Amino acid sequence: MIDEHALNAFISQVDRLLWEQWDPIGCGVPKDEYTSYARVVADKAARGETAEQIIDYLYWAESYNMGLTCTLEGVRQRTTGIVDTILDMAAMQFRTKN
């Protein structure tokens, strides 16, 4: 079970990372522009989903939800490093302690 306080702190970290590094809209969007996506990405990462599953979600967010012109390969190229960072953060924060 994931601690709700820890998950909320992680969501904030992911939100900042998505705004600073992903930012598919660009042009100075408000800092909370990607918060709804950050919640989903953080939850997926905390629950152990793969990088590919998270990248697929970001592709869906860009292409279908935001209506931006992009390809899955283009999103993969731009987000692999970001997603790897998020997964590393999730592993550090939510790894099972024995």
Q: Closest Cα partner for 51 from 12, 89, 93? A: 89
Kindly state whether residue 27 falls inside one of the protein's structural domains.
Answer: no
User: What are the tens digits of pLDDT across the range 22-64?
Assistant: 999 998 899 999 999 999 999 999 999 999 999 999 999 999 9
C-alpha R_g of the chain: 13
Q: CA 29 to CA 81: how far, in whole Å? A: 22
pLDDT at site 98: 42
- Contact between 89 and 45 (Cβ < 8 Å): yes
Residue at 7: amino acid letter = L
Looking at residue 10, its amino acid is F
Residue with tokens 């930012």: 23
- Output the average pLDDT for the chain: 94
Number of domains in the chain: 1
- Domain containing 39: what range? 4-20+33-94
- Is residue 46 included in any domain, yes or no? yes
Whether residue 26 lies inside any domain: the answer is no
CA 39 to chain centre: 8
